[in-house]
A and B are shown apart, each in its own frame.
Chain A
Amino acid sequence: AQKITQTQPGMFVQEKEAVTLDCTYDTSDPSYGLFWYKQPSSGEMIFLIYQGSYDQQNATEGRYSLNFQKARKSANLVISASQLGDSAMYFCAMRDSTDKLIFGTGTRLQVFP
């Protein structure tokens, strides 16, 4: 069965430091997509970054990068130079063969001054 696992319920990071949010996945499909979303307290899900299973390079989007290790089935999100506005829930998701997104349980990130 396809599954996303986020083992860190909460993380703390000091402003301007980098932080890594863990995500592992399980699928038998050779083709899949991995996503990270941010959910502030307002509730809206904000798309951050995407990695395709056949992409050779790790995805980057500004301060966000995805550390994709296919053999280990991990897709960790790295946020560099954390800002107070980064405090939110972060969800890792996988698009399965039927095109729906399967989400992990999320990691609550708190950035402190």
Chain B
Amino acid sequence: EAGVTQSPTHLIKTRGQQATLRCSPISGHTSVYWYQQALGLGLQFLLWYDEGEERNRGNFPPRFSGRQFPNYSSELNVNALELEDSALYLCASSFMGQGANEQYFGPGTRLTVT
């Protein structure tokens, strides 16, 4: 069974530009989560989508947005990029049911803003 996939692996942008990151969840998973991991730091929750709707968002400005498509894949958009947006962006998926509902992570997209 294929795991969570993310594209691109690396993305280099300049300040002020927009970045689009993509995530495909594990087959059967309806929830997608986005996290930001700045260098040397833990993961910070960004966004959660389930069944096409935004369920929760972390403490990030509105220029971080996203959406979930009917096939449950998701896109994270970051507008007006700033230098401090440079980070590893991790996507995770889970199945919302009884039990652990553990989140399975993709390999991440490393965004560099120059």
Contacts and interface: CB of A to CB of B under 8 A. Distances in A.
Contacts of A95: 101
B42 A33 contact: no
Contacts of A44: 105-108
Contacts of B44: 103
Contacts of A100: 33, 45, 48, 56, 58
A32 B3 CA distance: 25
User: Chain A interface residue count: which class?
Assistant: 20 to 34
Contacts of B107: 42-44
B88 A52 contact: no
Interface in B75-114: 88, 90, 92, 96, 100-108, 110
Chain A CB within 10 Å, residue with most, of B31, B101, B103: B103
A105 B44 CA distance: 10
Contacts of B11: none
Contacts of A43: 88, 90, 107-108, 110
Nearest to B4: A44
Contacts of A103: 35, 42-44
A68 interface: no
A101 interface: yes
Contacts of A104: 42
A34 to B, nearest CB: 10
Contact of B102 (A47, A91, A98, A106): A47
Most buried by B among A35, A93, A99: A99
Contact of A35 (B42, B58, B102): B102
B70 to A, nearest CB: 21
